[in-house]
C-alpha cells in the first residue's frame, strides 16, 4: 500500500458505547494527530442521537488536528457502535451524508476485539454492566451469550446486583442467613421488601450493575453470601472463555469494568490462557479504517 507524499491519507477511529464516545485521528505511520470525546453513542438512543454523539467526538478530534477540508476528504473512518445489530440501524447509518473518504461500521464489541488482537484472529469476553463473548476466526464471527439482561449476560455486573437483591430478600424473610452484604442491600430499601419491588419496577441493567462494586467489596472482605455470588459470576465468565477457545479462537482477552476485579476469582486454567489486550476499542476502529482503504 503506497501513498503520494503530497497526498497523505489519514485514519479516524471512533468507539461509540453506552457510557461515552471516543475518537482519534492518526496518520499513515500511526502518529496521533487529534482526539475527541462526547457522551453516550448507542442506537438505543436513536440513530440521530447516536450519530450526533459520534459527530461531536470526531469534530473535536478534527479541530484538535487542525484539518482542512482536503484532509478530511482523505480520511478513512472506522466506527464501532453499540447496538448496531438492531434492525435497520446499519442501513440508516450508511445513509447519513459525510465528508470522509469512506466509513466502515462494526459493533463496539467487534471494534474492541480488533483492538485487543491487533486485527488478527482472536476473541474477547466483555464483563461489564452486561457480558458477552465475541471474536473472529478464519473470517467467521464468533458469539457466545450477550443476549441482554435478565435473560442472559451471565457473570455481568447486572447479574451480580440481581443475585445480591434476591439473596437480600431471602435473608429478610429468614430463608437464608443474613450477612453484612445482604444487610447493606436491605438498608438501601429501608428494610422494606416493597421498596425493593418499587425499585425493581423502574430499574435497568445499569441500576442493578451499580450494586456490583458493593458485592465485590464484601466478597473481598470474606462475606459468605457475596463470595458465593462472585464465585458464581466467575464460573460464568470461565464458561464464556472456554467456549470461545472451543470454537477455535487462538487467543482470548478479558475486557470490561469487571475484568480486573473478577480475574482473581477465575479458574487457574482460564487465567493462564487469557491474553492481555494489545490495544483499545479506538485502536480497533482505526484498524477497521485501515483495512477499508483500497489497495493501491
Which domain range does residue 202 map to? 157-273
Asked if residue 252 belongs to a domain, the reply is yes
Could you report the per-residue pLDDT of 7-47, keeping only the tens digit for each?
899 999 999 987 889 999 999 999 999 999 999 898 988 99
Whether the predicted pLDDT of 2 surpasses 70: no
Which pLDDT belongs to residue 294? 67
- Same-domain pairing of 55 and 95: yes
Predicted local distance difference test score (pLDDT) of residue 92: 96
Residues 6+ apart with CB under 8 A from 156: 127, 128, 129, 130, 131, 149, 205, 209, 233, 258
What pLDDT does 11 receive? 97
Task: Look at residue 45 in the predicted model and tell me its pLDDT.
Answer: 86
Which CATH number fits the domain that encloses residue 269? 3.30.420.40
Of 82 and 229, the structure prediction assigns the larger pLDDT to: 229
Q: Do both 166 and 231 map to the same domain?
A: yes
What average pLDDT does the segment 184-212 reach? 96
pLDDT in tens, 98-121: 999 999 999 999 999 999 999 999
| 122-157 pLDDT tens trace | 999 999 989 999 999 999 999 999 988 999 999 999
Residues 198, 95 within the same domain: no
pLDDT, tens digit, for every residue of 66-94? 999 999 999 999 999 988 988 999 999 99
The percentage of the chain sitting over the pLDDT mark of 90, rounded to a whole number, equals: 88
Residue 283 within a domain: yes
Contact 142, 115 (CB under 8 A): no
Based on the domain organization, do 169 and 212 belong to the same domain? yes
pLDDT at 249 over 80: yes
Give domain status of residue 145, yes or no: no
Classify residue 143: in a domain, yes or no: no
* 177 and 257 together in one domain: yes
293/289 Cα distance (integer angstroms): 7
Place of cell 487467543: 251
Together in a domain, 161 and 269: yes
Residue 123 lies in a domain: no
Q: Are residues 169 and 266 in the same domain?
A: yes
In the prediction, which pLDDT does 19 show?
80
Round to whole Å and give the CA distance between 113 and 125: 9
pTM: 0.86
Residue 206: inside a domain: yes
Same-domain check for residues 257 and 162: yes
The answer to whether residues 53 and 90 belong to one domain is yes
CB atoms inside a 10 Å sphere around CB 56: 17
Amino acid at each position: 500500500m503506497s501513498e503520494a507524499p503530497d497526498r497523505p491519507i489519514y485514519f479516524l477511529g471512533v468507539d461509540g458505547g453506552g457510557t461515552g464516545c471516543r475518537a482519534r485521528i492518526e496518520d499513515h505511520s500511526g502518529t496521533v494527530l487529534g482526539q475527541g470525546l462526547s457522551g453516550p453513542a448507542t442506537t438505543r438512543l436513536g440513530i440521530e442521537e447516536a450519530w450526533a454523539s459520534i459527530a461531536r467526538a470526531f469534530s473535536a478530534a478534527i479541530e484538535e488536528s487542525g484539518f482542512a477540508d482536503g484532509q478530511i476528504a482523505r480520511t478513512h473512518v472506522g466506527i464501532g457502535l453499540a447496538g448496531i445489530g438492531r434492525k435497520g440501524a446499519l442501513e440508516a447509518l450508511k445513509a447519513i451524508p459525510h465528508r470522509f473518504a469512506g466509513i466502515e461500521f462494526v459493533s463496539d464489541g467487534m471494534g474492541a476485539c480488533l483492538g485487543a488482537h491487533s486485527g488478527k484472529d482472536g476473541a474477547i469476553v466483555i464483563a461489564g454492566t452486561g457480558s458477552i463473548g465475541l471474536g473472529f476466526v478464519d473470517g467467521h464471527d464468533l458469539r457466545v451469550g450477550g443476549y441482554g439482561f435478565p435473560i442472559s449476560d451471565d457473570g455481568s455486573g447486572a447479574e451480580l446486583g440481581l443475585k445480591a437483591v434476591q439473596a437480600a430478600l431471602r435473608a429478610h424473610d429468614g430463608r437464608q442467613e443474613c450477612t453484612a452484604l445482604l444487610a447493606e442491600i436491605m438498608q438501601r430499601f429501608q428494610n422494606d421488601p416493597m421498596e425493593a419491588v418499587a425499585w425493581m419496577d423502574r430499574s435497568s441493567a445499569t441500576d442493578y450493575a451499580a450494586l456490583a462494586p458493593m458485592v465485590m467489596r464484601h466478597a473481598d472482605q470474606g462475606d459468605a453470601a457475596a463470595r458465593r455470588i462472585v464465585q458464581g459470576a466467575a464460573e460464568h465468565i470461565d464458561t464464556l472463555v472456554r467456549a470461545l477457545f472451543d470454537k477455535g479462537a487462538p487467543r482470548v482477552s478479558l475486557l470490561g469494568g469487571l475484568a480486573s476485579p473478577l480475574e482473581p476469582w477465575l479458574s487457574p486454567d482460564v487465567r493462564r490462557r487469557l491474553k492481555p489486550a494489545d490495544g483499545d476499542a479506538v485502536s480497533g476502529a482505526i484498524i477497521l479504517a485501515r483495512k477499508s482503504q483500497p489497495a493501491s
